Amino acid sequence: MGWLQRVLGGRQVEHDPGRQEALLQQVRHGFGSRSQVRARDQIEEITRLLDDEDGLVVATRIVREVADAAHTDLLAQAADLHRRTGYRLVVDRRNYRVLWREAASALRWPLFDPPGGLHPYVQVAAAATVLGDRASRVVKATDPAPVLSAVFELFDLTTTGWEYGRVRPDTDGAELVLRLISAARQINAALSDPPPLPQPVRELMRRNNTTNVYDPAGHGVVGAINLGGELRPALLS
């Protein structure tokens, strides 16, 4: 009820569902892997498109849709594995690391080919940026709990893909991770009583190793990211 009280006590905003749907379709079909424009430039253009209250609603829909689609995909993969082999997997969206540690070789990473055409390194990264930049409105105009959960789930899926899912950590993936961390930090900071951090985040916080980051268009290492070093100051301060 806390978010509802914040909405009732704050400035009333007129939303336009028709415009929201039009924006979502523009972002869904006008950007992503089909575009020849580099990911960062697409992200900047999408964030400009979503720079109002209707855009904020669209950003929340994007992260929740992709998180839900990934969960549905992994449930289907687990069910198919059980039909073929009799082996039963538990798919817990609160902690995907357990699933991938157990059965990485039998799973396909679910974010590169989402059914709705929302690419993690483009539309999701842009949505995370919008949510972080407008975190104060996220907690006042929406129920922030499922939004924050989706942000953490997408972070978990991305970093688990690097570690167990045969996903190469390139600069676009690192950019997504940093934007998700920033969104989580800013939403948490805007909450008077933020929820406990998810187990995968707490697990990575205890680490201090670096992960090589590759050029998306080549094979060379162009940098590194220390996930624990990014998470601790963002979410423990």
Q: What is the pLDDT of residues 183-220, one digit of tens each?
A: 999 999 999 999 999 999 999 999 999 999 999 988 89
Is the pTM higher than 0.85? The answer reads yes
* Distance set, CA 106 to CA 62, 87, 168 (Å): 27, 11, 18
Report whether pLDDT(16) > 60: yes
Helix or strand holding residue 144 (H, E): helix 144-164
Long-range contacts of residues 214-220, Cβ cutoff 8 Å, at least 24 apart: 214/168, 214/169, 214/170, 214/171, 215/170, 215/171, 216/39, 216/170, 216/171, 216/172
CA distance 224 to 237: 23
Reference 51, options 71, 27, 28, 70; nearest CA is 27
pLDDT digits (tens, 9 = 90+) for 102-148: 999 999 999 988 778 999 999 999 999 999 999 999 999 889 999 99
More confidently predicted of 160 and 11: 160
231 and 201 in contact (C-beta within 8 Å)?
A: yes
Bridge partners of 122, per DSSP, are none
Domains of the chain by residue range: 18-235
| Amino acid at the residue 133 | D
pLDDT at 33: 84
Residue written as tokens 């989706």? 150
Q: Are 124 and 60 in contact (CB under 8 A)?
A: no
Is pLDDT of 11 > 80? Answer: no
